[in-house]
Amino acid sequence: MKNSNYNKPFVIAEIGCNHKGDIEIAKELIKVAKIFCNVDAVKFQKRNNKELLTEEQYNQPHPNPSNSYGDTYGLHREYLEFNLQEHSELKKFCEEIGVIYSTSVWDTTSAKEIASLNPLFIKIPSACNNNYEMLEWLCENYKGELHVSTGMTTKKEIEELVNFFIKKEKNKNLVLYNCTSGYPVPFEDVCLLEINNLISKYRGKVKNIGFSGHHLGIAVDIAAYTLGTSIIERHYTLDRTWKGTDHAASLEPMGLRKLTRDLNAVHKSLTYKNKDVLPIEKVQRDKLKYKKA
């Protein structure tokens, strides 16, 4: 008997900027995520760096020069950025192989550009969940789901965020993600039980509760699912040794494949017995069960 508290897991491969600014690598990441790893969706990032960064931030060196793709932080970010036409090409490629395309948007201009592609959902990163100019535009102009991470966000700020969506009558399109912002996050800082707080406070008010992990391995994601988050997002790369900040906190293809495999196995397992002795047990019962003389 199926437990109605558990929906089928929905796995998102967060490619982000792990394509290194190369659209062919991006397509390879999509293809492997779908065909080998069996994910439901892939997700990129979109930034308008001149809008997002101050002039000082744009022109300063990357804080970790060995990870930089440009002489300044702004040029580094520009190198990793795909334009709208390239995002449209990636969305079309996703549709051709049967995986859902999405993107995180970091500013209002990027939100408008990605919304024009009409993806199933748009993600709001933890860093931008207080950008109410962007959120207001999306609520008023975008019809799809809005997935919002709650890393580096106080409980009061989460409450204000949900109330904003309720006021805009868009809370039934809102998916809240439990998240700790770090790359990678040590297990003691994952704080999985915050999922319980989100579920107890907001289930019924929002469409769903998700989990966005930046930890190592896949055990934590399985636990997040059993706590009630049917949407699991993980950073993903073809090679964790590649240059860039996110690769070290990402799963490689075999890890992501095992994650989807194990989540689906757990989903099948979360049932009650529909009879006291299952058919698979009957043979063993007849053979092994103690019988009084």
Rounded to an integer, what distance in angstroms lies between the CA atom of residue 30 and that of residue 13? 9
Length of the chain in residues, anyone? 293
Q: Examine the pLDDT at 111 and tell me if it is beyond 80.
A: yes
> Which of 256, 293, 292, 269 has the alpha carbon at shortest distance from 18?
256
Could you tell me the pTM of the whole model? 0.94
> Which of 68, 67, 148, 56 has the alpha carbon at shortest distance from 102?
148
Q: pLDDT at position 3, please?
A: 63
State the average pLDDT for the chain. 93
Q: Examine the pLDDT at 278 and tell me if it is beyond 80.
A: yes
Q: Examine the pLDDT at 1 and tell me if it is beyond 70.
A: no
Q: pLDDT at position 257, please?
A: 98
Q: pLDDT at position 219, please?
A: 97
Q: pLDDT at position 2, please?
A: 61
| pLDDT tens track for 73-108 | 888 888 889 999 999 999 999 999 999 999 999 999
Q: pLDDT at position 176, please?
A: 98
What is 10-288's CATH topology? TIM Barrel (3.20.20)
Rounded to an integer, what distance in angstroms lies between the CA atom of residue 20 and that of residue 227? 34
Measured CA distances, 224 to 146, 255, 259 (Å): 20, 17, 12
Helix (H), strand (E) at residue 212: strand 208-213
Domain residue spans in the chain? 10-288
Structure confidence at residue 67 as a pLDDT band (50, 70, 90): confident
Q: pLDDT at position 65, please?
A: 79
Q: pLDDT at position 286, please?
A: 87
| pLDDT tens track for 7-44 | 999 999 999 988 989 999 999 999 999 999 999 999 99
> Which of 30, 43, 31, 26 has the alpha carbon at shortest distance from 175?
43
Q: pLDDT at position 175, please?
A: 98
> Which of 113, 119, 97, 115 has the alpha carbon at shortest distance from 27?
97
Spell out a b/e string for 206-217, using b for 16 or more CB atoms within 10 Å of the CB, else e: bbbbbbbbbbbe
Higher pLDDT: 240 or 1? It is 240
Q: pLDDT at position 215, please?
A: 93
| pLDDT tens track for 158-188 | 999 999 999 999 999 999 999 999 888 999 9
